[in-house]
Amino acid sequence: MDSGGTSDAGHGNYVSLAELAAQLKVSVQTIYDLRSKGLGPRGFRVGTQLRFRESEIDAWVERMEQADEQRDTGGAA
């Protein structure tokens, strides 16, 4: 595995909680709060550190975009 977070097995890149918060320009606490409500991205722990697959982050953002679009259109698909 290289230092960039890409595994040789093709599992993708991984992002830390702090990196995710920085990318989204929100606080780490916001990510914790969303996850505690079941609204955040799926992640996993490596020891005590939370990590997220970039593919899961992309899927989560897409789900949020779809939910916003549904709210904006009154629920029409």
User: Does residue 3 belong to any structural domain of this protein?
Assistant: no
Assigned domain for 24 exists? yes
Q: Is residue 2 part of a domain?
A: no
pLDDT in tens, 14-55: 999 999 999 999 999 999 999 999 999 999 999 999 999 999
54 is a domain residue: yes
- Cβ atoms of 17 and 31 closer than 8 Å: yes
Residue 8 has pLDDT above 50, yes or no: no
> Residue 47 sits in which domain range?
14-72
Contact 30, 64 (CB under 8 A): no
* Residue the block writes with tokens 């953002």: 61
Q: Give a yes or no: residue 9 inside a domain.
A: no
Q: How many CB atoms lie within 10 A of CB 22?
A: 13
The residue type at 71: R
* Domains in the chain, number: 1
CA distances (Å), origin 21, targets 32, 33, 34, 35, 57: 10, 12, 12, 13, 11
Q: Is the pTM of this model over 0.85?
A: no
4 within some domain: no
